[in-house]
Amino acid sequence: MTLSEVTAVTGIAGDFDVTVKESPRYVDVDKCIACGACTDKCPKKVDSEYEAGTGKRKAIYVKYAQAVPLKYQIDPDSCIRLKKPGACGFCEKVCDADAINFDDTEKIHQINVGAVVLAPGFEAYDPTDAKVWGYGVNPNVITAMQLERYLSASGPTEGHLVRPSDGKPASKVAFLQCIGSRDENLCGNGYCSSVCCMYAIKEAVIAKDHVPGLQTTIFYMDMRTHGKDFDLYLERAKEESGVRFVRCRVNGVETDGAGGDLRLSYVNEDGRQIEEFYDVVVLSVGLQTPKHVLELAKNADIKLTADKFAATSDFSPVQTSREGIFTCGAIAGPKDIPQSVVEGSAAAAAVADLLAPARFEFTAEPSFPTEKDVSKEEPRIGVFVCHCGSNIAGVVDVEAVEEYASTLPDVVYVERNLFSCSQDTQDMIAKRIQEQNLNRIVIAACTPRTHEPLFRETLKAAGLNEYLVEMANIRNHNSWVHGATPDMATVKAKDLVRMAAAKVTYGDSLKPIGVSITQKGLVIGGGVAGLTSALNLAEQGFEVHLVERTETLGGNAMNLKHTWSGEHVVTQVTKLIERVLAHDKVIVHKEFSVTHVSGFVGNFISTITGKDGTTKVIEHGAGIVATGGDEYTPKEYNYDSITKVVTSVQFDKLFELKEKHVKQSRKFVFIQCVGSREGDSMYCSKVCCTHSVQSAIALKKENSERSVYILYRDMRTYAQREALYKEARQLGVIFINYELHGKPKVTENGSVIDVEVWDHVLHRPLKIAADMVILATAIRPKEDAAELGKLYKVPVDGHGFFQEAHAKLRPVDFSTDGMFVAGLAHYPKPIEESVAQALAASARAATLLSKKSISLDAIKATVDEDYCDGCALCVDVCPYHAITLVDKVGADGADGKIIVVNKAQCKGCGLCQGTCPKRGVYVAGFTMQQISAQIQAALAV
């Protein structure tokens, strides 16, 4: 439901009535074919929201070229006709589809649902009113979102970075961090927006890629690159891309002369006043909750934090103050894409927990018409050539391609489409298949990697086997890369169509492989993440086996005191353990570890071995790796020899026990990044800055006379944790910045510990005679993570943490189907992020476990019994151990051998096909005959 907003939520968890207001679109989505004729004729131009004001749109428009649904809409605030009846109306006149409806009205819907998930996102801070940065005055001051659009190939300048004032190529760009974040004076947003450091680095790197020789400087307070692989990215930006980083807060931006140059003044790290000149200044604007979301929060009756984000608990990070209403994404605090995606899945898990009894109440399996048997028919190929708007048609002579395609053997029908992927074209293709009795389809459009699934559905809807389609990639591999030589691009497009037609001619109807699913879960690791995952799956109604190597549940969390927001960890974790132990669907195996694994998605068989040598065999459909991490044991700062140098976790214990020395000590020094962000451990442990700040606050609160120093490289109290950093400063905690090349020196000097460090404010060395030194130690991956990884065929990264399938979009999935990851096993993170990830892993696992069977792609190795002579060369090369050799009695009665392929384990890679000397095995959909036909077609002219 687009153009819709929630205006009221009544009822209780499990049974809500939601009022949704749907604003008029003035375009009938069932009729609109997104041809764009209306936009061409529309005389009214306004700033495009999508282009963040860098480009224009018309009053009738689509949000962006790839919009879903790809349907036009009229903006009533700028449409001439809607403001003045009788005027204009050009769009209505040119619309062949008769889709324009100026009389469209607002609609109110009442919808009965069991739960509500709020994921309304954020808005970027608008720096116009703050004035000091010249935004809105000098056009060369832009926001980071505007720079994204300038850098985008689909943006207003097609990726060319120019000065907005005069279109001159930019040569010097400055990024100013913390605009609208960590700044209560100008904008009132005290929190850190968490994502701006990384996006600024990314934009600086990409901008340098676009403009050779471009100078980029990032002015920052603390470099907060705390996520997975972020510090490596930062180092590469410095070392390889040459992005310059300056630690300071720029006071203001002024226009210099009439040329549009910008003057920045700042105090550098040596205390000197510096002036520099730039072409473009990019404001790294923060994230904030927009007004309409505050309104939504009010309508949904949920509580907010002081920073105007949804209030949640660290142990149930997607649960709002109102039962049955959940949040995910930036509404509950600024966060990046992976964390938002994790929370999206986590909210799904929380909903499924609540609504488990009502699963499958309203869902129905999609039904398709009976498939036509085409095996006896001669090929009748239909070719559909896509314009992709102007993406293809702007370069390739699509009419010539159409004409050429009709001359190819077996091609009986050819048509061109503006967007082959649009819903109406899909329907049209299905209609043509039936009308023209087509039995093979070629779609000349974009890449099969994104669009083949869509066209397969189209074939299914038309009663044709879904594998009888082949795509010719005339966009990504042609029009986009040969824009300068349109004639040759047209020749190549014809070749690609010919190749696709040749291949599809030999295509067969293939059946997806059905795999039954063991509807049980296995969770490895009994820490907070594992406990959370197990409990959620059990609450969703699935039997779960929880395997814990030690004799206790709770993991690292049992050593912690408070979460950043002040919740008592051990109390909460103890409750969690009790709930897990009391749940009849969770089977806990303490002092067991996984020792052997066989099987595959839906049908894993894991053998676990106990400390006493006993083994158990567990069958499960999905598995969650939540094996946690370890605290680093420091080798630096004389930790070995000085007893009063302790780690953060040790200090917590001493402090809690009111140990005498801690009680009496007057001077405490915290040293950050011990074992993090250097050498082979170039990653941030994410939790230590907040941990030290919390400890420092506790020390100061207990006795304000104490001196507490925190020696840090960058304070990474990200998101709403910034409030703790502020509190610590207000309490008089002294923060001293050090750089990697000037690490503090710690030596024992009688009854005190001398800590020597360069004072970044006074610009001279400082010696602190400390009573106690606390080392903020790193989180390390489990040493045997890779071994476990091998059992389940899931990888670890360069640091030894488990590697997810995709950094942004599949943050808890492994590339091995049916396996998921959560918690410290994936990367260091605080408790609420572990809990969210654990819930997300459960939600992802539940998408499998809720089904009795799944169907897998039919692109699998297939044995040709006539040719396979059982030589078994393929058995060893198969990376998935999907091939086995079995006995066979030949036609002549002699004993022989032949291979069999386990289709559920086979990934269709075809290593067997490439190895087989006898053509005894082939991959369905990529047979030797099909590929040979493509080769021949490629070279036919």
Q: In the complex with another protein, which residue's Cβ is closer, 648 or 934? A: 934
Cα 75 from Cα 58, distance rounded (Å): 9
Q: In the complex with another protein, which residue's Cβ is closer, 361 or 783? A: 361
Please, what is the minimum distance in Å from the beta carbon of residue 802 to another protein? 17
Cα 847 from Cα 817, distance rounded (Å): 12
Q: In the complex with another protein, which residue's Cβ is closer, 331 or 772? A: 331
Cα 465 from Cα 510, distance rounded (Å): 7
Please, what is the minimum distance in Å from the beta carbon of residue 14 to another protein? 4
Q: In the complex with another protein, which residue's Cβ is closer, 683 or 709? A: 683
Is residue 474 within 8 Å of residue 445, measured between CB atoms? yes
Please report, for residues 573, 629, 649, 930, the alpha-carbon distance to residue 557 in angstroms, rounded to integers and kept in the order given. 7, 11, 11, 56
Closest residue by Cα to residue 121 from 306, 343, 320: 343
Please, what is the minimum distance in Å from the beta carbon of residue 501 to another protein? 14
Please, what is the minimum distance in Å from the beta carbon of residue 934 to another protein? 5
Please report, for residues 221, 476, 673, the alpha-carbon distance to residue 714 in angstroms, rounded to integers and kept in the order given. 8, 42, 9
Cα 306 from Cα 131, distance rounded (Å): 25
Is residue 623 within 8 Å of residue 548, measured between CB atoms? no
Cα 233 from Cα 239, distance rounded (Å): 10
Is residue 824 within 8 Å of residue 556, measured between CB atoms? yes
Q: In the complex with another protein, which residue's Cβ is closer, 568 or 808? A: 808
Q: In the complex with another protein, which residue's Cβ is closer, 537 or 776? A: 537
Please report, for residues 99, 105, 668, 688, 862, the alpha-carbon distance to residue 74 in angstroms, rounded to integers and kept in the order given. 11, 12, 63, 51, 53
Q: In the complex with another protein, which residue's Cβ is closer, 385 or 859? A: 859
Please report, for residues 172, 350, 532, 852, the alpha-carbon distance to residue 353 in angstroms, rounded to integers and kept in the order given. 53, 5, 12, 19
Please, what is the minimum distance in Å from the beta carbon of residue 867 to another protein? 13
DSSP string, 146-173: HHHHHHSTTSTTTT--B-TTT-PBP-EE
Please, what is the minimum distance in Å from the beta carbon of residue 321 to another protein? 16
Write out the two tokens for 369. 């018409």
Please, what is the minimum distance in Å from the beta carbon of residue 221 to another protein? 19
Closest residue by Cα to residue 332 from 359, 300, 361, 303: 303
How do 622-625 and 819-821 pair as beta strands?
Answer: parallel
**Calculated CA dihedral for residues 918, 923, 927, 928, nearest 10 degrees:** -30
Please, what is the minimum distance in Å from the beta carbon of residue 324 to another protein? 10
How do 921-923 and 615-620 pair as beta strands?
Answer: unpaired
Write out the two tokens for 808. 């942004």
Please, what is the minimum distance in Å from the beta carbon of residue 497 to another protein? 12
Q: In the complex with another protein, which residue's Cβ is closer, 100 or 724? A: 100
Q: In the complex with another protein, which residue's Cβ is closer, 723 or 933? A: 933
Closest residue by Cα to residue 539 from 571, 579, 593: 579
Q: In the complex with another protein, which residue's Cβ is closer, 62 or 142? A: 62
337-362 residues labelled b (16+ CB within 10 A) or e (exposed): ebbbbbbbbbbbbbbbbbbeeeeeee
Please, what is the minimum distance in Å from the beta carbon of residue 716 to another protein? 16
Q: In the complex with another protein, which residue's Cβ is closer, 539 or 548? A: 539
Q: In what order do the strands lie in the sheet with 172-179?
A: 141-143, 280-285, 172-179, 215-220, 244-247
221: amino acid identity, one letter: M
Please, what is the minimum distance in Å from the beta carbon of residue 149 to another protein? 7
Is residue 261 within 8 Å of residue 277, measured between CB atoms? yes
H or E stretch at 202: helix 196-210
Q: In the complex with another protein, which residue's Cβ is closer, 356 or 649? A: 356
Please, what is the minimum distance in Å from the beta carbon of residue 167 to another protein? 20
Write out the two tokens for 867. 């040719």
Q: In the complex with another protein, which residue's Cβ is closer, 493 or 645? A: 493
Is residue 469 within 8 Å of residue 452, measured between CB atoms? yes
Q: In the complex with another protein, which residue's Cβ is closer, 136 or 914? A: 914
How do 752-759 and 745-749 pair as beta strands?
Answer: antiparallel
Cα 118 from Cα 937, distance rounded (Å): 53
Q: In the complex with another protein, which residue's Cβ is closer, 355 or 642? A: 355
Please, what is the minimum distance in Å from the beta carbon of residue 780 to another protein? 21
Residue 327, φ and ψ in degrees, nearest 5 = -125, 160
Please, what is the minimum distance in Å from the beta carbon of residue 413 to another protein? 24
Please, what is the minimum distance in Å from the beta carbon of residue 687 to another protein? 19
Q: How far is Cα of residue 481 from the mean position of the Cα atoms in its chain? A: 27
Please, what is the minimum distance in Å from the beta carbon of residue 56 to another protein? 16
Q: In the complex with another protein, which residue's Cβ is closer, 401 or 699? A: 401
